[in-house]
Amino acid sequence: MRDIFFRRQNHILSAAFIIMATYGLSHLIGLVKTRLLISSFFSAQSQLLDVYYAAFVIPDTIFQLLVIGSLSAAFIPTFTKYLAKDEKEAWTMTSTTMNLIILVFTLLSTAIFIFAYPLSRLIAPGFTLSQISVMVQLLRVMLVAQIFFSISGFLTGIIQSHQRFLIPALAPVAYNLGIIAGIIFLSPTLGILGPALGVVLGAVLHMLIQLPLAIRLGFRPSFSLNFSHPGVREVGRLMPPRVLALGIDQVEQFVAVTLASLLAPGSLSLLNASRLLFTIPTSLFGVTIGQAAFPQLSKEAAHSDLDQFRATLISSFLQIAFVALPLSTLFIILRIPIVRIIFGAKTFPWAATLLTGKTLAILCASAAFYAVMQLVIRGFYALHDTRTPLFVGFLAAIFSSLLSIFAVTWLGWGILGIAVAISTTAIIETLALSWILYRRISVASHKVFIPLTKMIFISFVTGVFLWIPMRLLDQFVFDTTRTVPLLLLTGITSLIGFSVYCLLSQIFRIQELTTFFNLIKRITKWKDILSPTTSEPVILPAPDQN
C-alpha cells in the first residue's frame, strides 16, 4: 500500500487521472466546507461570511505571486533541468530558492500585518467599520497559514518534478479537512474566527502530508542563501514576468471584492459559491491535465523535440475540451438543481439559489475555455516564454476590470455583471493565447479546429437533450421541493445527457471517446492499477489525430 503513494506516474493521462480523482475528492470536501459555512453564517451573519472571503484576498495574492509565480514558470523547469544533469546541484538550488522566497514572504507578511487596517479599507470600501475590524483580525490569522503554504508549495514542485502526483493531489484534501475542523469545533465558541484558524490548521496539514515523500526523494532543507548560484539566478530571471502575470490575474479578485462589498450583504458569498462550482469542470480537467502535462512538455522543450511537444500539446488540448465541454453544458442546464442539492440549507433562501444559479450559468459559459487556458499557458512556460502570457493577461485584466465596473455600476447587474466580465474575458484570452502558441509551434489548424468544432456541436445538442427531460421530469414526475426526487431528477437527466454525448461522439468519430472508454476499462481493473508492479498507464493516449 505504501508503494501506491510513492509510485511514479509515467504517462500524462495516468498522472492526470491521479490528480483528477484526488481533486474530485478535494472539491467534494470543499463543497461540504462551503455548505457548512453557509449553514453556520449565511442567514443572520451573511456580512461576516463576506468578510471571511474578503480576508482571503491579500494573503492569497502574496502566495500566488511569490510561491506559485516561482514554481509554475521558473522553479519546476529549472529544477527538472538540474535534476537530469546534477542531482546535488538541483537540491542546492532548491534550498536556496525556497529560503529566498520564504524570507521575502515573511517580510511582506510582516508589512501586511502592520498595515492590515488601511489595506482592508482599501479593498472593501463598502464594508462597515465593524466588518473591517473583523476583516483585519481574520487577515492577520490567515497570513500565518500562507507561511506554511510557502514551504508546501515547493514540496509540491519537487514531488511533481519526480512525476509523483498522488500525494500533492491529496494535500488540498487535508487543507479542506482542516477548515472543516475549524468550522465544526471552533465556530460555536469563536464564531467566524473558527474557520480562519481552520485555514491555519489546513495549511499545516497541507505541508505535513507532503514532507515525508519529499525527504524520501532527496530533499534536505538547509539555510543556504547562495544567490549567485546559476540555478537560482535562472529562477530569478524567469520569475518576474510570471509574477506580474499572476498579479494581473489577481486584479480580477480585488475588483470583484471591491464591487461586491458595495452590494447587498451576502453578495460576495454567493459569488464565491458560484465560482466554487465553476472550478469543478475547470480544475478537474484543465488544471489536472495541464499540471500533469507540464513536466513532460518542459522535458520535450528542453530536448528541442518540437514534434513531440506539438503532439503532446494537441492531444492534451483535445482531451480537456472533450470532457470540459459536456460538463460545463450540464452545469448550465442543471444549475438550479445543482445549487439546491449542494447549498440548499435552511439558511440559503430561494432568491439566493436563483441568483447563484444564474451566476453559475454565466461563468460556465467560459468553463471549457478556462480549462484549456490552463494547458496553453503551461505550454508557453515549458518553452521558457513567460512574456506572452503576461502581455495578453495584462490586456485581459484591463478589459475585465472595466467591464466589471461598467456592468455593476452602470448597468446595475450586481454579481451577474462580475460573472459576465469574468466569462467574456476568459473566452477572449484563451482564444488569443491559443492562436499565438499554435502559430509559434506551427500546429496544423485542422488537427485542432475540426475535432473541436465537432465537440462544440455535440455539446450543444447534448444540452437540448438535458433540458427537455429535466423540464418533463420536473413538471410531471418528481416533486422537486424534496431532496430525494431532486437527486433522482438530476441523476436521470445527467445519465441521459451522458449517453447522448457518447453516442454523438461515436457517430461523429470523436477519437477522444476511445480514451474515455479505455479509462473506464482501466478503472474497472482497479487492482491492477494499484499494483506497484503494473507498467501500463492508467489512461491510454488518444489515437493520433488525422
What amino acid is encoded at 258 in this protein? Answer: T
Question: Does the pLDDT of residue 538 top 70, yes or no?
Answer: no
Q: What is the pLDDT of residue 289?
A: 74
Q: What is the pLDDT of residue 537?
A: 34
In angstroms, the CA 390 to CA 244 distance is 7
Read off the pLDDT of residues 244-255 as tens digits, 9 standing for 90 and up: 777 887 888 899
Residue with cell 532548491: 94
In angstroms, the CA 281 to CA 372 distance is 11
Which of 34-48, 295-309, 316-330 is the most confident on average?
316-330
Instruction: Find all residues with CB under 8 Å of 213, minimum gap 6, and list them.
Output: 5, 6, 159, 164, 167
Q: What is the pLDDT of residue 535?
A: 38
Domains held by the chain: number = 1
User: Residue 52's closest CA among 238, 237, 217, 198?
Assistant: 198
User: Is residue 341 situated within a structural domain?
Assistant: no
Read off the pLDDT of residues 44-83 as tens digits, 9 standing for 90 and up: 667 889 999 999 898 888 877 777 766 656 788 788 888 8
User: Is residue 238 situated within a structural domain?
Assistant: yes
User: Is residue 228 situated within a structural domain?
Assistant: yes
Kindly report the number of other CB atoms within 10 A of residue 104's CB atom. 15
Which residue segment(s) compose the domain that 24 sits in?
Answer: 1-243
User: Is residue 282 situated within a structural domain?
Assistant: no
User: Is residue 502 situated within a structural domain?
Assistant: no
pLDDT bucket at 105, cuts 50 / 70 / 90: confident
Question: Does the pLDDT of residue 10 top 60, yes or no?
Answer: no
pLDDT bucket at 352, cuts 50 / 70 / 90: very high
User: Is residue 95 situated within a structural domain?
Assistant: yes
Residue with cell 471549457: 368
User: Residue 50's closest CA among 122, 127, 121?
Assistant: 127
Q: Rounded to two decimals, what is the model's pTM?
A: 0.84
Average pLDDT over residues 16-31: 76
H helix and E strand count, the chain: 25, 0
Average pLDDT over residues 469-475: 92
Q: What is the pLDDT of residue 67?
A: 72
Read off the pLDDT of residues 481-495 as tens digits, 9 standing for 90 and up: 888 899 999 999 999
User: Is residue 34 situated within a structural domain?
Assistant: yes
- What sign does the dihedral 471-473-478-484 (CA atoms) show? negative
User: Is residue 339 situated within a structural domain?
Assistant: no
